[in-house]
C-alpha cells in the first residue's frame, strides 16, 4: 500500500495502482496550497491524518513528522509514485475528476505556491541587511570622493587647512562656519572643536582670495557632504537595530556593523553560519589571498574583521592572533543565531575579551622578523610557439 500526494488530495494505492482510499483537499486553491505547504515542511495535514487513521500499515513517498513512526515506513522513490505518474489519467477518472479541470487547478496551485515561496524569500530580513550594507558602502565611496574634491578645492584659498584639520567632519564644519579664512578670528568660537590654527597661520597663508560666489559653491558641496554624513549615521542606526533583531549574538560579539558586513558578504545569515572560522577571518581579503597564491606575497590575516576596535589598536604581532579568536567566536554566534538559539552574546564576548587580554600578556614584545622569501616573478610575455627543428633525422 502506498500514499501519494496530488494537487487534488491524498490517494492510497495498492501495488497495482488501484485506489483503495482517497481524501480530497478542501475546495478552492488556498486549502490545497496550505496542505501541500504543510507536507513540504514535514507537518501532517488534516487529510493525511484521516488516511492514517483508516489505514495504519503504510509506506510514504515523502517523509513526514508522525507521532508513532514505528507503524510507518519511508520509501523513496517507491512503486506507488511511479504507478501514479504512469496512470494518473485513469486514477483521476476513478476519483471522478475531469482532466481539464485538473489542469486548470494544477496551474493555479503551482502559481500560488510559487508566489508564496517568492514572498517568503523576499521577506527574509537578512536580505534587508545585504542591501543596507551595499548602501552603506556606497555612502562611504560617495563621501570620500566629495571629500577629496573639496579638500583640493578649498586648499586654493587656504592650503594650510588641509594638514591643520585632518578630521574630515571638522574640516567640513570649518568650511561651513568659517568659510573665508579672513573671518576666522571672529567666528572661531562657533566651532564645536578646539582648532589649532593660529592667527599667524592665517596671516602667512599662501592661498588666494575667493569671491563670494566661489565660496558659496564650496559651501554648497560641504553642506551636501554634511547631509550625506547625517544620512549615513541614520542608515548605521537602522542596520544596528536590524542586526540586533536578526543576529543578536553575532552583533554582540563582532559589533553590529561588522556583523552586518559579514552577513552581507556571505549572502545571508544561513550562509555565514555554515562557514568555518578560517573563512570568516579572511572575508573581504580575497584579493590579497589570491595575490599571495599567485605571487607569493605575504598572506592576509584578516579582512572585514580588521574594523573590530581591539584588532585595530593592537600591535601588528597580536593582530592575527586576535583575528583568529574573534573569527572563532563569530562562527559560534552565527550558528546559534541561525538555529534560533538562546542569547549567549554576552558570554561569548566576555570569553573573547578575556582571550584578548591573555594574548596581550603572553606576547608583549614583537618577535624577531623573519627574512622575506623572494616573491615569485611571472613572465607575462607571450610565449613563442615551439619551432620544429629544420634538420631531419639522419641529416647533419
Residue 50's pLDDT is: 81
Residue found by looking up cell 536590524 in the block? 242
Reported as a single tens digit per residue, the pLDDT across 47-79 is 877 877 777 666 554 444 444 443 455 555 666
When pLDDT is cut at 50, 70 and 90, the band that residue 93 belongs to is confident
Residue 172's pLDDT is: 96
Cell digits for 296?
607569493
Check if the beta carbon of residue 331 is closer than 8 Å to that of residue 271.
no
Residue 70's pLDDT is: 38
Residue 63's pLDDT is: 45
**From residue 25, how far is each of 59, 96, 118, 194, 208 by CA, in Å?**
20, 14, 23, 75, 83
When pLDDT is cut at 50, 70 and 90, the band that residue 387 belongs to is low
User: What share of the chain has pLDDT > 90, as a percent?
Assistant: 43
Residue 359's pLDDT is: 94
CATH number listed for the domain at residues 247-362: 1.10.246.90
pLDDT(96) > 90: no
Check if the beta carbon of residue 85 is closer than 8 Å to that of residue 202.
no
Which long-range CB contacts under 8 A does 223-228 form with residues at least 24 apart? 223/176, 224/146, 225/143, 225/146, 225/147, 225/150, 225/172, 226/172, 226/173, 226/176, 228/139, 228/142, 228/143, 228/146
Given CA atoms 255, 260, 266, 270 in this order, what sign does their dihedral have? positive
Q: Where in the chain is the domain with CATH 1.10.246.90?
A: 247-362
Given CA atoms 60, 63, 67, 68 in this order, what sign does their dihedral have? positive
Q: Where in the chain is the domain with CATH 3.30.420.220?
A: 2-122
Alpha helices in the chain (DSSP H): 29-40, 46-54, 79-86, 88-94, 99-122, 125-154, 160-164, 168-177, 184-187, 199-203, 212-246, 248-254, 256-266, 269-273, 277-282, 286-295, 309-312, 316-338, 345-362
Distance, CA of 1 to CA of 73 (rounded, Å): 11
pLDDT(238) > 90: yes
More confident residue, 195 or 393: 195
The pLDDT of 10-15, averaged and rounded, is: 74
pLDDT-wise least confident of 143-147, 198-202, 223-227:
198-202
Distance, CA of 327 to CA of 41 (rounded, Å): 33
When pLDDT is cut at 50, 70 and 90, the band that residue 330 belongs to is very high
Check if the beta carbon of residue 244 is closer than 8 Å to that of residue 291.
no
Reported as a single tens digit per residue, the pLDDT across 104-119 is 877 888 888 888 776 6
Dihedrals phi, psi of 286, to nearest 5 degrees: -65, -40
Residues in the chain: 396
Residue 26's pLDDT is: 75
Q: Where in the chain is the domain with CATH 1.10.287.4070?
A: 126-238
Class of domain 2-122: alpha beta
CA angle 53, 59, 62 (to 5 degrees): 100
The pLDDT of 26-36, averaged and rounded, is: 79
Residue 146's pLDDT is: 96
Residue 386's pLDDT is: 53
DSSP string, 147-184: HHHHHHHHTTT-THHHHH--SHHHHHHHHHHT-SGGGH
Reported as a single tens digit per residue, the pLDDT across 269-297 is 989 999 999 999 999 998 888 888 888 88
Residue 383's pLDDT is: 59
Average pLDDT, the chain: 83
More confident residue, 262 or 38: 262
Distance, CA of 380 to CA of 206 (rounded, Å): 48
Residue 354: which of 336, 330, 329, 332 has the closest Cα? 329
Of the candidate CATH numbers 3.40.50.2300, 1.10.287.4070, 3.90.660.10, 1.10.10.10, the domain formed by 126-238 belongs to 1.10.287.4070
Cell digits for 44?
501532517
When pLDDT is cut at 50, 70 and 90, the band that residue 382 belongs to is low
The pLDDT of 36-41, averaged and rounded, is: 75
Amino acid at each position: 500500500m502506498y500514499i501519494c500526494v496530488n494537487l487534488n488530495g491524498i490517494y492510497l494505492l495498492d501495488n497495482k495502482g488501484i485506489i483503495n482510499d482517497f481524501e480530497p483537499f478542501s475546495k478552492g486553491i488556498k486549502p490545497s496550497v496550505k496542505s501541500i505547504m504543510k507536507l513540504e515542511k514535514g507537518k501532517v495535514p488534516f487529510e493525511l491524518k484521516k488516511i492514517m487513521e483508516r489505514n495504519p500499515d503504510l509506506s510514504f513517498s515523502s517523509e513526514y513528522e508522525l507521532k508513532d513512526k514505528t507503524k510507518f515506513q519511508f520509501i523513496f522513490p517507491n512503486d506507488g509514485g511511479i504507478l501514479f505518474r504512469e496512470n494518473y489519467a485513469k486514477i483521476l477518472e476513478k476519483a471522478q475528476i475531469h482532466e481539464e479541470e485538473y489542469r486548470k487547478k494544477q496551474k493555479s496551485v503551482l502559481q500560488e505556491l510559487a508566489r508564496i515561496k517568492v514572498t517568503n524569500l523576499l521577506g527574509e530580513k537578512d536580505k534587508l541587511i545585504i542591501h543596507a550594507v551595499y548602501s552603506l558602502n556606497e555612502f562611504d565611496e560617495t563621501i570620500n570622493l566629495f571629500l577629496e574634491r573639496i579638500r583640493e578645492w578649498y586648499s586654493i584659498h587656504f592650503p594650510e587647512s588641509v594638514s591643520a584639520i585632518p578630521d574630515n567632519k571638522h574640516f567640513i564644519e570649518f568650511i561651513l562656519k568659517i568659510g573665508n579664512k579672513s573671518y576666522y578670528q571672529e567666528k572661531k568660537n562657533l566651532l564645536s572643536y578646539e582648532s589649532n590654527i593660529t592667527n599667524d597661520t592665517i596671516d602667512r597663508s599662501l592661498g588666494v582670495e575667493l569671491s563670494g560666489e566661489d565660496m558659496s559653491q564650496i559651501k554648497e558641496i560641504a553642506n551636501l557632504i554634511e547631509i550625506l554624513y547625517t544620512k549615513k549615521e541614520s542608515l548605521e542606526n537602522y542596520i544596528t537595530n536590524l542586526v540586533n533583531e536578526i543576529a543578536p549574538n553575532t552583533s554582540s560579539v563582532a559589533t553590529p556593523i561588522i556583523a552586518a558586513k559579514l552577513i552581507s558578504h556571505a549572502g545571508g545569515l544561513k550562509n555565514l553560519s555554515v562557514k568555518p572560522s578560517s573563512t570568516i577571518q579572511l572575508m573581504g581579503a580575497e584579493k590579497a589571498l589570491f595575490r599571495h597564491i599567485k605571487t607569493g606575497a605575504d598572506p592576509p590575516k584578516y579582512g572585514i574583521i580588521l574594523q573590530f576596535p581591539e584588532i585595530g589598536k593592537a600591535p601588528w604581532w597580536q593582530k592575527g592572533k586576535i583575528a583568529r579568536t574573534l573569527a572563532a567566536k563569530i562562527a559560534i554566534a552565527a550558528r546559534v543565531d541561525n538555529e534560533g538559539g538562546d542569547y549567549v552574546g554576552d558570554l561569548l564576548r566576555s570569553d573573547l575579551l578575556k582571550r584578548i587580554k591573555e594574548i596581550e600578556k603572553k606576547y608583549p614584545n614583537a618577535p624577531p622578523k623573519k627574512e622575506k622569501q623572494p616573491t615569485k616573478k611571472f613572465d607575462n610575455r607571450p610565449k613563442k610557439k615551439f619551432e620544429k627543428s629544420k634538420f631531419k633525422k639522419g641529416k647533419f
